[in-house]
Amino acid sequence: MSGSMISCKDVSKRYVLRQRTKGSRLMLGALYGGAKKLMGRADDDLDSQDVHWALRNVSFDVAPGEALGIIGRNGAGKSTLLKIISRLTLPTTGRVELAGRVGSMLEVGVGFKNELTGRENIGLSGAILGMPAKEIRVRTDEIIDFSGVRPFIDMPVKRYSSGMRIRLAFAVMATLEPEILLIDEVLSVGDAEFRRRSAARMEELIRGGRTVLFVSHNRDIVERLCDRAVELDRGHLVSIGATARVVEHYREMVQPDVETKAFATFDADAARPIRIRAAAILNRSGEVAEEIEIAESFRVRVSYDINEDLDNVNIFCRLETVDAVGVLCSGDADYDPACLGPRRRGAYSAEFEVDGGLLEAGAYRLTVSAGIPFQKVFDRCPAAVSFRLVDRSSRRRLWYPQTRPGFIAREYPWVYEGRSPWA
């Protein structure tokens, strides 16, 4: 492992799934099983179905000062890998070599005791995380300042709001300065101001020459902070290399999983004042389309029934990415407040057009709701339809084959003052 800080060699982890009904976790059951074994009637041969490989022959090296991102879907083995490297569990086979002190940030608030004061918890949590007592004493003030809970520091933590608790816990953790740092998605805690500070501290830690393993679902953060990345899928390492390339591979692999359905209908329901009956995504030619070129415009069509005369209602669409990030909202009374006026009963259909070249490639879903703004929701169809924006024709696609982070796909022309460099 010459030169590398972390070296995983053929690491596998096998879990045995046991049924509780067999009673094998009870001591009497174990004694009974042992007795049976002695009498040569062992029946607990491992059925291959009872075995789950959380990791299978995973090997990689991390150089000193490198930040390695780990991405993968749920259950891909990311957490198991971090658990093994932070010594919480042992690999079934293979080995990991570490050339420095490991600090792990797997969860905020490890070892906090509600009955103890904030100050006492700093000492306790610090000691559990492996800080020498002297260092904790020296840095206590710094920790208190970073957390911003100084007025409450000598109060029991159970009196804290959950935000204060998390801030204090994070502040303790952020003072850790191990040579190898393991981070599992703990970035977004506290209020906006604290989030900004903690994200800055994370970046400082990651960029501060430390060796970092960083697990996150947020591909953008991995792309921003990590030099290289590893992609895990069902326990196997499927790609490793420059972050942008691995993230792109991951994106492509994940995509087929997102089911798209660009047209949906819903049964009539006279009990509701308004009932949404159908939603559809239409392409430029007016056909229902699951895939739309990002450069082209598309239309969102909604059909609904009004079952009783109503006032002040609107129909509302929320467009979001598959990661549930809201991208665009539009209501049918946005453009003209007069539309909030009385509506007569009947069946209606309406649509709006989203211009081409606006939204970035990716999978999207649309939630449609109907109601009185700020007061009532009469009907709501979450993720009623879903579709994908694809980029096969944009100009930058010709030379930049990857998806960029962000939601907006606009291509802006750059204008040079005076002389251009190509002249």
In the numeric block, which tokens belong to residue 182?
């393991």
- Contacts with another protein by CB under 8 A lie at 1-3, 14-21, 25-28, 30, 52, 83-100, 102, 104, 106-107, 110-111, 113, 115-116, 120, 123-124, 127-130, 132-133, 156
Q: 250: which 2 tokens?
A: 């991951």
Nearest distance, CB of residue 260 and another protein, angstroms: 33
Between the alpha carbon of residue 164 and those of residues 74, 109, 189, 333, the distances in Å are 29, 11, 10, 41
Sheet holding 180-184, edge to edge: 102-105, 180-184, 211-215, 67-72, 228-233, 236-242
Least distance between another protein and beta carbon 225 (Å) = 22
Q: Which residues pair with 314 in a beta bridge?
A: 371
Distance of closest approach, residue 115 Cβ to another protein, in angstroms: 5
Q: Which is nearer to another protein, 94 or 356 (CB)?
A: 94
d(CA 210, CA 227): 12
Which residue number, 20 or 41, has a Cβ lying nearer to another protein?
A: 20
Q: How many CA atoms lie within 13 A of 298 on its CB side?
A: 25
| Residue 247 burial (CB count, 10 A) | 23
Handedness of CA 152, 153, 154, 159 (dihedral sign): positive
Nearer to another protein by Cβ, of 2 and 74: the residue is 2
Amino acid at 186: V
User: Minimum Å distance from CB 187 to another protein?
Assistant: 17
Tokens coding 20 = 């509780």
Q: How far is the CB of 81 from another protein (least distance, A)?
A: 12
CB 363 within 8 A of CB 417: no
CB of 241 to another protein, least distance (A): 25
Q: How far is the CB of 40 from another protein (least distance, A)?
A: 21
If the CB atoms of residues 126 and 148 are measured against another protein, the closer one turns out to be 126
Token pair 């960083």 in the structure block, residue: 214
Task: Give the residue among 240, 130, 136 at the shortest CA–CA distance from 180.
Answer: 130
123 or 357, CB closer to another protein?
123
Contact 85, 46 (CB under 8 A): no
CB of 168 to another protein, least distance (A): 16
| Residue number, 84 or 276, with CB nearest to another protein | 84
Q: Nearest distance from residue 7's CB to another protein, in Å? A: 9
CB 367 within 8 A of CB 318: yes
Nearer to another protein, 143 or 354 (CB): 143
List of E strands, 85-227: 93-98, 102-105, 180-184, 211-215
Question: End-to-end alpha-carbon separation of the chain, Å?
Answer: 51
What DSSP element (H or E) covers 40? Answer: none
Our CB check for another protein shows the closer of 120 and 233 to be 120
When the beta carbons of 1 and 238 are compared against another protein, the nearer one is 1
Angle at 48 between CA 45 and CA 50, to 5 degrees: 80
- At residue 89, what is the residue type? T
